[in-house]
Chain A
Amino acid sequence: MNAFAQHFAFEFRTGIRNRTLLLMNYLFPLGFYALLGLLFAQLNPGFIQVMVPAMSVFAVLSGALLGLPDPHVTAREAGIFRSYRINGVPTLSILVIPVLTTMLHALLVTVIIAITGPLFFNAAAPVNWVAFFLIYLVMALAFAGIGILIGVISSSSRITVLWSQLLFLPSMLLGGLMLPTSALPASLAKVALILPTTYAMSAFDGLAMHGAPSLDPWLSLGVLAAGGLLAFAMSVFLFKWDSKNVTRGRHPALALLAWAPYLVGLLLSF
């Protein structure tokens, strides 16, 4: 097994061994899914139409925004990246591997949801499974890219939590997971257009569930893909091996460039 594969296998196991990551990758999204399936689906019958994609997005949100950034900050602060650097671990491995393992954990949760949702909660199954998993990959890349970018630019774990929550909560409330964005007031619907969740739900709705999204689903997919790639590119650009060596530091505000595709999406809506 080569170094990348060994590193990937270790990181994947860490996502299960580490209690916090186990919670964020599996227990929280599956618990929330079960809760919504048992209670919310009865309160809002329309929810079962989008339950599978919405809970898939939630699983990715949980793993990528709440689980992914903090271990990156902790590793940098603990000198783990210095140790990696001395031993020839490349920057790309440090950034790519957690992104891929987070996507894989969320994919396993998504598969569980996609299989059990229709069986236990009468949720609508994806009409086009290929499109469903393609959108999943693009959406997971977009969120994992943001997650690793938060880890790269955050100076401490506390700041990480702040940035993650700043995205997580609006994504939950405004991104079309619990309520369709069409039900939002016009001003909040515009705000929702700077959230990746909105584009993810639109792409799922239009291409995998054959619904009637308010946004062009292909445009949504394009925005997500561009956002994910840009976030990851900015992570590589802003990456620091350690927090003490500031001689080559780049300003973390540059991370905002990763939001350009979502702002383009917002501008196109006017």
Chain B
Amino acid sequence: MNETVIQVKDFRKAYGSFVAVDGISFEVERGEIFGLLGPNGAGKTSTLESLEGLRFPDGGSLRIAGVDPARQTRQLRSLIGVQLQTSGLPESIRVDEALRLFCAYHGKPPRDELIDRVGLSEKRTAQYHQLSAGQQRRLSLALAVAHKPPVLFLDEPTAGLDVASRVMLHDLMRELQAGGTTILLATHDMAEAAEMSTRVAILMRGKIVALGTPLEITATGAGLTKISVRTECSSLTAPGLSFPAVAQTMTEGEYVIFFSRDIGPTISALIAHLAAQGDALIDLRVERPSLEDRFLEITTKGAAR
């Protein structure tokens, strides 16, 4: 049976007359990587910070493994690890000192091996201000997981990271997930959200406008699937041709591109047409709408309202 670890019910947060989060509800199960997406000002940070116990909700309820983040802060600290968007460490603290200090405050023995795990072995005794932005974020991640929390909050974890660091971070996330850690991932990087998240919620003006697996979300959009076809005799460029479910056609070099609402009938008709014309297929590519396309579709529509 699945175990709900994060429970957000009718959560509301306002700053004066501005409502940042307007009654959102979602649940995250143990071992999930749950992506929280949305444009700036959508309410992601207010939601995250309230779950982290940094802000008090104005309505609804929040629970992390049954703990109320606003009231049971002591119990919360051992449950959650947080990688803040801005790392927030004293400039002169050394990498090993920071790890020892935070482990001590969590009542855990120092985990020096984490320094190696996040690729900071050579920077063990470097002061925080001597680290690059990417190294600072990696240290921040090591500190977030140092006390082995069952729930991890990651706020833009790969912002400013090079490719190798990004791969390392994703590997670590998968490793933690396999070990049962629940991860709440707030990101602007749609490719990362699509690749890493088991489910995502898209926030817009304080409300959840889409919730599901990345595949579910992309499938429910009005987005058109792009079908690019290249043939030997270019029979698809003949004027007056039409195929089922095709909304738009264009040419790009030697390719004819069809934007289809339903790829099954479109591709069947295309193949049948080529066979009838004696034309041979050289290349056929199908590109589903990405999470980014769907995100832009939702947020653009939302902004226009």
Contact = CB atoms under 8 A, between A and B. Distances in A.
B84 A86 contact: yes
A80 B107 CA distance: 20
Contact of B82 (A17, A86, A247): A86
A88 B77 contact: yes
A87 B143 contact: yes
Interface string A1-31: 1110011001001100110000000000000
Residue of B53, B56, B92 contacting most chain A CB atoms (<10 Å): B92
Interface extent on A, as a size class? 20 to 34
Contacts of B143: 87
Interface string A67-104: 00001000100111111111111000000000000000
Contact of B54 (A1, A14, A17, A82): A82
B86 interface: yes
A88 B84 CA distance: 15
Interface in B29-74: 52-56, 74
B104 interface: yes
Contact of A86 (B52, B56, B91): B52
Given A88-B106, A245-B54, A79 B86 contact: yes
B90 A75 contact: yes
Contacts of A84: 88
A82 B90 contact: no
A143 interface: no
Contact of A88 (B15, B55, B100, B105): B105
Interface in A16-55: 17-18
A245 B52 contact: no
B104 A80 contact: no
Contact of A82 (B88, B92, B100): B88
B92 A86 contact: no
A78 B92 CA distance: 13
A1 B104 contact: yes
A241 B54 CA distance: 9
B102 to A, nearest CB: 5
A84 B77 CA distance: 11
B54 A6 contact: no
Contact of A10 (B56, B84, B88, B93): B93
Contacts of B107: 3
Contacts of B106: 87-88
A3 B89 contact: no
B105 A89 contact: yes
19 contacts: A3-B104, A6-B101, A7-B101, A7-B105, A10-B93, A14-B90, A14-B93, A17-B127, A71-B90, A78-B86, A82-B88, A83-B87, A83-B89, A86-B82, A87-B106, A88-B105, A245-B54, A245-B55, A247-B56
Interface of B: 15, 52-56, 74, 77, 80, 82, 84, 86-93, 97, 100-102, 104-107, 127, 143
